[in-house]
Every structure is written in C-alpha cells, then in structure tokens.
Amino acid sequence: MPSARTAVAEAPKKAASDAPLASAKDKVGIMLLNLGTPDGTDYWPMWRYLREFLSDPRIIELNKAIWYPILYGLVLTTRPQKSGANYARIWNREKNESPLHTFTRAQAEKLAPALADLPNVTVDWAMRYGNPSTGSVAERLVAQGCDRLLAFPLYPQYSATTTATANDQLFRALAKMRRAPAVRSVPPYYAEPVYIEALAASIEKHLATLDFEPEVVITSYHGIPKPYSDKGDPYHAHCLETTRLLREKLGWDEKKMIATFQSRFGAQEWLQPYTDKTVERLAKEGVKRIAIVNPGFSVDCIETLDEIGREVRDEFLHAGGEKFSHIPCLNDSPEGMTVIETLVRRELAGWA
C-alpha cells in the first residue's frame, strides 16, 4: 500500500498526464487579414468605421491631445457624409456590403477547397477595422481547436500602417486568451516571383481587352506620410521594387511604366509623385492614353474603384486625356488565388 507521501508525489503526475497533448494533427487556423470596411454607407456606420481607423496610432502618429480634438471635432463631423457618398457609388447592393468585404470573403472561400489535401487546416478571414473583427475570428478559430494560427496580412508591401497594425490587433486579441495559439505571420511578398507573375499576367490579360494601347501604365500605390518613410518605414522602397520587377517582367522601360502614390490625407507631405498630379501632367504633356493598376491592393476597394476609377479618371480626361482604363486588382482571380495559396503552403511548412 503506497504511503501518503508517495500518493501526494504521484498526484501532480497524474493530473499532468490527464491534460491533452499537442500533436502533429493539431488544427491550424489560417486567417486572411484585410484593412476593413464600414458596415453601411449611412452616417453612423461610416462614423464608427472612421473613428476606429483614424484612432489607430499606427495610422495617425500625432499626440492624442492634439489629434483627438481634430478627429472628434472637424473630421468625424464632416467626413462620414463625404466618405459614405463615395462608398455608395461602389456598394455591392446585392449583398449589402463593400467590394472589399465581398472579395476578401471570396478569397477565403476559394482558398479552403484549394487546401483540401491538408485536413487539419481551417480557413477564415477578418478585418483590422470593422467586421468581422480580428478578435472575433481569432476566438472562433481557437474555439474550433486551432492551436496554431497563420495570419496573412493581405498587403504585398510592408508598412507599419498596414501589416504592422494588422498583427498588432491580432496579438491584442491573443493577449486576452488564457490558452493562446502559436502564431506565424506571412511576410510581405512585394518581390515574390509568383506575385510579380500574377500581376504581369493580369495586366496583359486586361490590356488585351482594350480598344487602345496605353502610352503609359501607372502603378499607383496608397501613399503614407513622408515622415513615416523618413523614420524607417520600408514601404516606399517595397513599392518601387515591385514596379521595377513588374516592368522587367513585362519588358517595358521606365517611360512605359511609372510608380505614383495616391490617397493622401491632411496637410503634411506624403510620398511622391502624387497620382492625381501625375495624370494631369501627363495629359498636359500630350499623353492621350493611360492605364492604372494598383499593385498594393490585394482586392478592389474604395481607393481603386472610386478614387482611381472615377476621380483620377475624370482628372485625366478633363486635363486633355482621351483614353483611360483601370486594371482590376488580383481579387479572387485564378492568378490572385495562386499567389495566396503558394504563400500559405510555404508558410505552413512543418505545421500541415
């Protein structure tokens, strides 16, 4: 008969042995992470979205004591109406959601069956701002038994304002979990051959449908304030490298394909050259036919469909241009899904 001392000594061992052990069959959750979108185009959905977005210190680096009076005073008083009107022009009426929401969901829905040979993998998708929230999707994947998460920030070029804040939000959610999963994050893929090849193929496919040949093809990227770049954000260099590699892949020179930056906000200097100023200059210099592609966006959204497809188009035509075309993002196209699947399979090495 064992002594009391022996029984006490053995008790912890027995309790430990009762705990479930990790194994190679543990489930892996894949989370596609995109920027975000409002839930509607009316004032309050836009207000909630803009408040979350513009309150992020990764986006606006001003001291809160300076920025918040501006944000809650001027910006959130006037901008929801203007932004809501812009979203209304591109809104997916059938599904009552933004195109970014539609396309990101479609990417997840197509990725899942593409990974059917990996039975321990579950695919989901989330937004940094808005719904479905990063936290709610992380909790859902863990509740489904995922002990490992592969986060895929859908930003080809790294910036603290995109990739970093998406990862920040995920780890904020994990910080609230008693049993947090192991995490990997897909690195920026701005120079990956599969990405460059997909972009080149999509451009060639689109240009083949046009009744004109562009004299200039512009790669337009979302801008960031120049001080962010000066402090060490590598985004500018990543964008220029994507354009260089894409130009090389297509066999074009530096006059045929150029890089610009769009979507500036506020009074400070942003990365240049600016897209709107560039198309105006080109038209005044006699360029009559252009096309614009947005390699920094994984799916079409307000910045591509409305800002480029409407605002920049009108600026070019009003300045004397004659032919304009916006080249769609990779979205959930076969080329786009090849990029996502290839990178996911690589980053799953040893997990699935």
User: Of 260, 265, 264, which Cα lies nearest the Cα of 316?
Assistant: 260
CA-CA distances (angstroms) from residue 322 to 310, 315, 319? 14, 11, 9
Q: In the chain, what is the straight-line distance between the N-terminal and C-terminal CA atoms, in Å?
A: 47
**Is there a contact between 318 and 343 (Cβ–Cβ < 8 Å)?**
no
Distance between CA 222 and CA 57 in Å, rounded? Answer: 18
Whether 222 has a binding-site annotation, put simply, is yes
DSSP structural state of residue 215: S
Dist CA 256 CA 214 (whole Å): 8
Phi-psi category of residue 295: left, alpha or beta, with phi > 0 → left and psi -120 to 50 → alpha:
alpha
199 three-class SS: helix
Residue type present at position 43: Y
CA 321 to chain centre: 31
Q: Helix 76-90 vs helix 43-54: angle between axes, to the nearest 10 degrees?
A: 110
For residue 154, give the H/E element and its range: none
Residue with tokens 């990029």: 339
Structure tokens at 338: 């090849």
Q: Do residues 268 and 53 touch, judged by C-beta distance below 8 A?
A: no
| Residue 288 CB neighbours (<10 A) | 15
Residue 64: phi and psi, rounded to 5, are -60, -35
Please, are residues 223 and 262 in contact by the beta-carbon 8 Å criterion? Answer: yes
Binding site feature residues for Fe(2+): 222, 303
Binding site feature residues: 222, 303
